[in-house]
Structure 1
Amino acid sequence: MIGKNTVEALQSGMVFGVASQVEGMVERLVAALGAAEEDVTVIATGYLAPLVLDECRCFTHHEPWLTLRGLGPVYARNA
């Protein structure tokens, strides 16, 4: 987590900064829902999700192609 040079420090700051933002947002959303953390499903999706997947404790699933899988039926319906 602590970089040994400028490049490593910047990389660490970006990865752990985004991970902290994601966890903070999930925590706030769970509180707003009034739900228990274990009752909430949090899906990591998108091209860059694997970069923070191991750093976030909040994810319950990883679906890298979720958006594209959702767009397929929309396209088929409108084609």
Structure 2
Amino acid sequence: MSAAIGCVDGSWSWRYAQDFSTVANVVQASVNSVASLWHSTEAKVAKDSFSHRSSHQVMVTRSPNHMWAISCSTVSARRS
């Protein structure tokens, strides 16, 4: 497809059609580059390792029965 299709010789749009076409190609290439970079960055996101977890998550991981322990201490405190 030519950039000059539908233009009248000597008109402003005909004289600058090629320039606009080049600018459009550069802008399109930039958009594609950004989209490609964003997509590749998103694909590399991983779950937190054990060293990146909060102290609460570490406690829960170490003590699988933590809810049982908390409920027992609550019942014992009420009976006292």
Name the TM-score, length of structure 2 as normaliser. Answer: 0.36
Larger strand fraction of residues: 1
Higher relative contact order (CA 8 A, sep 6+): 1
Q: Which has the larger radius of gyration?
A: 2
